[in-house]
Amino acid sequence: MNRLAGKRALVTGAASGIGRAIAQLFGQAGALVLVADIDVAGAEHTAETIEGRGGRAVHLRCDITDEADCRRAVDLAVQLGEGLDIVVHSAGIIRRASVVDTSVEEWDRVMAVNVKSIFLLSKHAVPLMEHSGGGVIINISSGWGLRGGRNAASYCASKGAVVTLTKAMALDHAGQNIRVNCICPGDTDTPMLRNEAAQLGEPIESFLTDAAHRPLGRIGTPEDIAQAALFLASDAASFVTGSILVVDGGGLAG
């Protein structure tokens, strides 16, 4: 489990769900993890869990839609005297509505959290990675970034943007030895997925049962996505950049 020994990783949205699972697994794999989230208590809990398992972690409040906060997160990596090798953009939100039923404010918020945040944090992280000789950026998109879904217009648009942004960044920064890849999870049992059921007014158990209707016959777990992220962050993926890794139990296969 020392696949990331000596590495320094910043994970956004790490207070819960997929981000939390990635942060914890990276900590177990030997990385120093900067646990970033607007939910300070949740971020602190994640960091404490990593440290309780023998890892190293620092939590910080970070509003990823605010450039000053993104800059401070990168500056913290410098202040710790450690640098930055890996950034995982895991924070995300969803609004279940068509374009007709989505307000301008909701659209802007989804785009800010899901897309603009990657731009803002990468803008400050990439120069530091370049100075250190390279790095890895992992963007979390969605299966709905590859095909549309009903009543999720802003979310689908934002996650589609993450897919193509990943490819553009991979081209732009390959010469700096920075690999940029994307994970597209299928339905994964997280607080955000359960919030979708509430938005749609559906019973949570039937919602989760429907989400499990895929070839492998189950819903995804945050740990499933974390294992994919660990692969992309490690030297095992040293020749992988600009790739879109679908982790969805076969949901998009047919």
**pTM of the entire predicted model:** 0.97
pLDDT in tens, 182-225: 999 999 999 999 999 999 999 999 999 999 999 999 999 999 99
Residue 223 sits at φ, ψ, to 5 deg, of -70, -30
> Mind listing the pLDDT tens digit for each residue in 182-192?
999 999 999 99
pLDDT band for position 83 (cuts 50, 70, 90) = confident
Q: Which strand (E) or helix (H) includes residue 61? A: strand 56-61
What pLDDT does residue 190 have? 96
Give, in degrees to the nearest 5, the angle at Cα 36 between 244 and 40. Answer: 140
Q: Domain 8-190+220-247 belongs to what topology?
A: Rossmann fold (3.40.50)
CA angle 124, 130, 134 (to 5 degrees): 120
Q: Choosing from 155, 170, 247, 249, which is the catalytic residue?
A: 155
In the chain, where the domains are located: 8-190+220-247
pLDDT at 254: 79
Q: Catalytic: 141?
A: no
